[in-house]
Amino acid sequence: MGNQHIHSTTVIAVKHNGQVAIGADGQATMNAYVVKSNVKKLRKLQDGKVIAGFAGSTADAFTLLERFEEKLNSYGSNTRRAAIELAKDWRTDRYLRRLESMLIVIARDELLVISGNGDVLEPDHEVAAIGSGAMYAQSAALALKKHASHLTAEDIVRESLHIAADICIYTNHHFTIEKLG
């Protein structure tokens, strides 16, 4: 079974009306098979003040989440600075450079995407998505933010995940959603 291509997930975060929410589906697939349907792809950090979601290799993501939490501790819970320092290490460290995962992190006033290319992105329109179903979820969230301003950030995340799960074969309807603010 070596070198199986693992597809997974949809993770989306939304800032809307003073709230920040993040959600992920629970599916992990290997080639054409669903290997698990209820994977937890969100992690609370800093006593729940920061929440991170991941797409890609689970083991790699856990390594990155541990490093990110170390950076948060080193930089006084400054989410942006911790993200930048993690991205620097991820890009330059021989071991980390091989890790295949992406992260979205949210804090009270922050929504950031961190990649192994050294990117720390604060997305336009306060919507970020990663994973196989990212573009479906992001498109849905942008439309909902624009035309359904009465919805909460959590509502937008949930509905966006439903739309992605209806379209993307690597995304299921088993969601985990967390919110801040």
What's the pTM value of the predicted model, to 2 decimals?
A: 0.91
Does 1.10.630.10 match the CATH number of domain 6-171?
Answer: no
**pLDDT tens per residue, range 113-124:** 998 778 899 998
pLDDT-derived band at 142 (thresholds 50, 70, 90) equals very high
Which contacts qualify for 63-68: CB closer than 8 Å, 24 or more apart?
63/96, 63/99, 64/90, 64/96, 64/99, 64/101, 64/103, 64/114, 65/103, 67/96, 68/103, 68/105, 68/114
Q: Is 58 a catalytic residue?
A: no
